Amino acid sequence: MEKYIEILPEIKRALDHNQPVVALESTIISHGMPYPQNIETAKRVEDIVRENGAVPATIGILGGKMKVGLTTEELEYMGKGEDILKVSRRDMPFVLSRKLNGATTVASTMIIAALAGIKVFVTGGIGGVHRDAQETFDISADLMELAHTDVAVVCAGAKSILDIGLTLEYLETHGVPVIGYQTDDFPAFFTRKSGYSVDYRVNTPEEIAQAMKAKWDLKLQGGMVIGNPIPSEHEMDPQLIDQAITDALREASGQGIKGKQITPFLLSKIKGITAGKSLQSNIELVYNNAKVGAQIAAAYSRL
Ligand code: PSU
Ligand code: MN
């Protein structure tokens, strides 16, 4: 395994001593946000994780090695480099064997976090079932990973570029619990409510940690989705964001954008249409997730 994975000493030490560690993904840095806000955000997220009592572990692949924890130079390269592939589960064997560079999605970050022994992972939003999946079969590998890999994912729900109802159905089929952190409504990323209920509302990090422990004590394989709504003051106007999403989807279909390109394409279009407001909301919701994720990791390590 040493051939493939490199864990920063500080993170290794924390894991060896059962201290809280929070995994962070890198696709959000390389393909989800523009430079330089991507790097500023990634650094601030790490600080917030620390301020809330956990050690941050930003995950990515450089020179064919899975990195658990990135140095400042590596993190900056993730945000600037032109040769950073978007890497999900199916891409990992080749990015490793060809010694390439890659940003990890929710799916591949979960795989690497699990290999390192990290139980909590913070991101912005998970991938899901796309709106026209009946025809395109476009269902993110993130969902399958949540079915199989034992990592809890803190997110602000799923964006309505996806079909949120079908995404929740898929998670139910695969036995993935969907939790609302201090909410009954599954959050819709830019907005606090999607109109779909969560399976369980949980109000404290301690209670989430206890449910994680019960799940894995029982060997109920797989992850958990913790939906943490964007703070109200950073929420977007639902009509504005809906219109932006509709326009972006129309443009994507007009240009024949498909597969792994679709999410980055839509995010960048939506940012343009909303004059940057969506990016600001995106950044704020990740900060909020970092805080809650660190608190959950801290509670889990106390059990
Ligand atoms: N949602 C965002 N920003 C992102 C992503 C999702 O708001 O950057 C990324 C995550 O890394 C997620 C991935 O795992 O997109 C899903 O891509 P796909 O649908 O191609 O599996
Ligand atoms: Mn897809």
For residues 266-280, give the mean pLDDT. 95
State residue 104's pLDDT score: 98
Ligand 1, residue 106: give the atom nearest the CA: 14
Q: How far apart are CA 99 and CA 224, in angstroms?
A: 31
Which residue among the candidates 12, 67, 119, 159 is catalytic per the annotation? 159
State residue 244's pLDDT score: 96
Q: Residue 261 CA: which ligand is closest?
A: 1
State residue 34's pLDDT score: 95
State residue 128's pLDDT score: 98
| pLDDT digits 0-9 by tens, 127-186 | 999 999 999 999 999 999 999 999 999 999 999 899 999 999 999 999 999 999 999 999
| pLDDT digits 0-9 by tens, 9-52 | 999 999 999 999 999 999 999 999 999 999 999 999 999 999 99
State residue 186's pLDDT score: 98
For residues 177-198, give the mean pLDDT. 98
Question: Is residue 213 annotated as a catalytic residue, yes or no?
Answer: no
Residue 220 has pLDDT above 90, yes or no: yes
Is 140 a known ligand-binding residue? yes
Burial call 58-87: b when 16+ CB within 10 Å, e when fewer: bbbbbebbbbbbbeeebbbbbbeeeebbbb
State residue 160's pLDDT score: 85
Domains of the chain with CATH codes: 5-302 (3.40.1790.10)
Amino acid at 133: A
Q: How many residues does the chain have?
A: 303
Residue 83 has pLDDT above 90, yes or no: yes
ipTM of the complex: 0.98
Task: Name residues contacting ligand 1 (CB within 6 A).
Answer: 25, 27-28, 31-32, 88, 105-106, 124-125, 127, 140-142, 159, 260, 263, 267
Q: How confident is the model at residue 198 (pLDDT cuts 50, 70, 90)?
A: very high
Q: What is the mean pLDDT of the chain?
A: 97
Give, to the nearest 10 degrees, the angle between helix 277-302 and helix 205-217. 60
Which residue CA neighbors atom 3 of ligand 1 most closely?
32
For residues 102-119, give the mean pLDDT. 98
Residues with CB under 5 A from ligand 2 (ion): 138
Ligand 1, residue 104: give the atom nearest the CA: 11
State residue 96's pLDDT score: 98
State residue 32's pLDDT score: 95
Q: Where are the beta strands (DSSP E) in the chain?
A: 5-7, 21-24, 55-62, 65-68, 84-87, 101-104, 120-122, 152-155, 178-181, 200-202, 224-227
Which residue CA neighbors atom 21 of ligand 1 most closely?
140
Is 225 a known ligand-binding residue? no
Q: How confident is the model at residue 247 (pLDDT cuts 50, 70, 90)?
A: very high
Question: Is residue 74 annotated as a catalytic residue, yes or no?
Answer: no
State residue 47's pLDDT score: 98
Residue 303 has pLDDT above 90, yes or no: yes
